[in-house]
Structure 1
Amino acid sequence: MGDFAFDHERVAPSLATMDSRFDAVAERVLRGYGLRLPRHLAVFAAFLDGIGDAGRRALADGVGLSPGGITRYFEDGGLALTGRDGLDERLDSRFRCDPPEFVTVLWGDSDGLHFGLWYDDPAELPTMVVHNYARDSAETWSEQLPTVLAQVGRRLDDADMDAADDPDYDEPDGARQRAELRRAVAAYADADERARDHDGAVRWVGAARPPILGGVGPALPDGSGDPRGGHQRYNERYEAYRAGAPQVREWIAQAERELAAGEPAYALVLGRELHWFDADAYRADSLRLLASAYRALGRQALAEIAEVHHAHRDLRSVDVLRG
């Protein structure tokens, strides 16, 4: 599996390096995405730098994780990365069913697994870390973890549990390498906490979310209308979407009437569900509902991500950034 041994002496230099890069990367993300970058992503970048090549191999081989998406801006020369063939950088690591709120920072190792920051509102810091198996159900889920480093720690826990349940699961020397990675996570934990304290409170943590098709539901302000969430309702909608039932057009029309009256919640839910459902018959509807609802909520950057994504949803590869 590898010969990674964590060197604590690398912690302070790696943190200093990534802290020095934070402002430039944050400006790049704000300019390119219209989103606020949390300081904890610099701590995660420092963790990756501090564990070196051997640690990153151990992370990939033993836990199935590797850096991706906007985390790459922290790498040496990362700010020189641009979209290949003139493509918008917001398309990088964005699979066809990813919701606009999802911004990738980390790759998994199977079925298109990727992890991202979840932006309920571009004016706010991301609420949590989420994940999505793009080549499986493509639903977005979250363990409600606040930072990427915390997500790495959770994956280490999961790998340990898998090894305990099935000794044949583990690779040779896997437990020792995970223990070294766990030491590294612990060494950066205080910096992770300081980064969160520096950024301050995250507005949408703990917000009520209507259960919807496709996973994580939107966080909605008071007065935005009835989102029609809940398992019974979204199961009914799913069957109607599958059947191409006339009722779907009635729901869309109702959502647009509410949107025009200043209540965008239902339009956002239907837009998100139809985006995830990914049927050609509803593609234009999903974009119209999404973009209009985001703008009605003051979430312009999410509307623009939805628009650029829908314009390029059939890309054969989401590997967009090039040096």
Structure 2
Amino acid sequence: MRTTPEGLDPPTALATMEARFPSVEEHFRRVYSLRLPRHLAVYAAFWAGLSDNAARCLSERLGLSPWGITEYFEDGGLDRVTRDGLDERLHCRFRRDPAEFVTVMGGDTDGLHFGLWYDDPAELPSFIAYNYARDSAETWSHHAPTLLHEIRIRLADAKRDVELDGPEHYEGMPPFEPLEAALDAYADADAAALAADGPVTWAGAPRPRVAITIGPVLPEDAGDPRAAESGERLDTYRDPARAAPVIAAARSELAAGRPALALVVGGELHWLDADEYRPESTELLTGAYRALGRDALAGIVEVHHAHRDLRSVDIF
């Protein structure tokens, strides 16, 4: 993303990425049928404008790098071709990622990656989520509204580690100050991007607690997701005979026009990633998303489940 050793100055970086935003937005909408937030252009500008010291701090102390759809903002980013004709929606999509998760940043441990979280394809993403794909692969969130907010959270954690461990354990590491200055330089633009997009509909909405992912936002007539039973169900799935009544109940609720249980059970089976439950996971998730009018998420599930065994999530 960076174009010179010292990076672009903030006004130039912002002007460059904001000029690219309409083309990236159109491409993203066409491929994903989702809305792109303006703060992603600010995030791309932030990376393009990093000094060497700030970039080293991000890499060596926070372990972060731009990834996923952020790459659309790179020079020639919209001209890339996927290998073997694969669907672009598979790029940086790990096998247990929920459909709501679209990767925008990578970490440096246990498959850590960060994504925009889309509760509803008709709306802007609610917040930033993250997932350790090569660990237990649950999806979590600090509810940060932008990537720069998420980086500030990670920076605060890194500074706290120094306080707890003692500075002698971090001798020779790049300082925090250049990164803090870079974040400050783009703070106003980040806030302006949020203001330009307007209120984020589902950011603060109440959610049921689900054992392995962010709870879904559901209309009142969607039925009961029985979220409190989520952890117990994960144990039930170990035995297909015990799982069968759970899946049957989800199917029945879905057929009756109450997709909440099908959505949550389908998501649990997706996370479980067991071969014997793949058809049921696809059936329940796509049926629930379509019943909720979230067809774009159903489409992501279909392409993801059809290519879930790819050896690499980097498809370009």
Residues 45-64 of structure 1 mapped to structure 2, 5 A cutoff: 45-52=44-51, 55-64=54-63
Contact 1:256/1:267, CA 8 A, preserved across alignment: yes
Q: Structure 1 residues 86 and 169, CA, compared in 2 at 3 Å: closer, same or farther? A: farther
Match of 1:261 in 2: 256
Q: Which residue of 2 aligns with 1:67?
A: 66
**Match for residue 236 of structure 1 among 232, 239, 247:** 232
Counterpart of 2:279, as a letter, is A
Hey, what does 2:170 align to over in structure 1?
170
> CA offset at residue 243 of structure 1?
2.9
2:180 corresponds, among 179, 182, 187, to 182
Aligned residue number for residue 82 of structure 1: 81
Q: What is the CA distance between 1:6 and its match in structure 2? A: 7.7
Structure 2: which 5+ runs fail to align? none
Q: Which residue of 2 aligns with 1:221?
A: 219
Query: Identity, % of aligned pairs?
Result: 57
CA distance in 1, matches of 2:77, 2:54: 20
Residues 1:211 and 2:209 aligned together: yes
The residue correspondences of 1:1-323 to structure 2 (distance < 5 A) are: 10-52=9-51, 55-167=54-166, 168-174=168-174, 176=175, 178-230=176-228, 233-244=229-240, 246-321=241-316
**CA distance in structure 2 between the aligned counterparts of 1:299 and 1:210, rounded to whole angstroms:** 18
| Separation in structure 2 between the aligned mates of residue 169 and residue 205 of structure 1, nearest angstrom | 38
Contact 1:213–1:234 (CA<8 Å) still a contact in 2? yes
SS at match of 1:223: helix
Secondary structure in 1 aligned to 2:113? Answer: strand
8 Å CA contact 1:210–1:217 kept in 2: the answer is: yes
Displacement of 1:235? 2.0
1:174-213 deviation digits (Å, cap 9, x = unpaired): 3x2x211011101101110110000001111111211223
Task: Give the partner amino acid of 1:238.
Answer: L
**Amino acid of the structure 1 residue aligned with 2:14:** L
Q: For the residues of structure 2 that align with 1:6 and 1:125, how far apart are their CA atoms? A: 33
Is 1:6–1:183's contact at 8 Å kept on the other side of the alignment? no
Indicate if the aligned counterparts of 1:213 and 1:276 stay in contact, CA closer than 8 A: no
**3-state DSSP class of the match of 1:301?**
helix
Note if contact 1:6-1:180 (Cα within 8 Å) is conserved in structure 2: no
Q: Which runs of 5+ in 1 are unaligned?
A: none
Counterpart contact for 1:89–1:320, Cα < 8 Å: yes
8 Å CA contact 1:271–1:286 kept in 2: the answer is yes
Q: Residue 259 of structure 1 aligns to a residue in which SS?
A: helix
Question: What is the Cα-based RMSD across aligned positions, in Å?
Answer: 1.7
Instruction: Give the Cα separation in 2 of the matches to 1:170 and 1:64.
Output: 15
Report Cα offsets for 1:76-104 as digits up to 9, x if no partner: 11111222121111111100000000000
* Secondary structure of the structure 1 residue equivalent to 2:204: coil
Change (3 A) 1:212 1:190: same
Note the alpha carbon deviations across 1:243-293, whole angstroms, 9 max, x for none.
33x232111111111111111000000000100011111111001000010
* Alpha-carbon contact 1:83-1:89 (below 8 Å) kept: yes
Say whether the 8 Å CA contact 1:95–1:318 is kept in structure 2.
yes
Q: How far apart are 1:110 and its partner, in Å?
A: 0.3
Please give the secondary structure, in 2, of the residue aligned with 1:215: coil
Query: Are 2:58 and 2:65, in contact at CA under 8 Å, matched by a contact in 1?
Result: yes
1:121-164, Cα deviation, whole Å (9 max, x unpaired) = 11000001000000000000000100011111111111111122
| Range with bigger deviation, 198-207 or 234-243 | 234-243
CA distance in 2, matches of 1:252, 1:169: 51
Report how many residues are paired: 312
Change (3 A) 1:243 1:249: closer
Alignment CA distance shift 1:223-1:22 (3 Å): same
Q: Distance in 2 between matches of 1:74 and 1:80?
A: 11
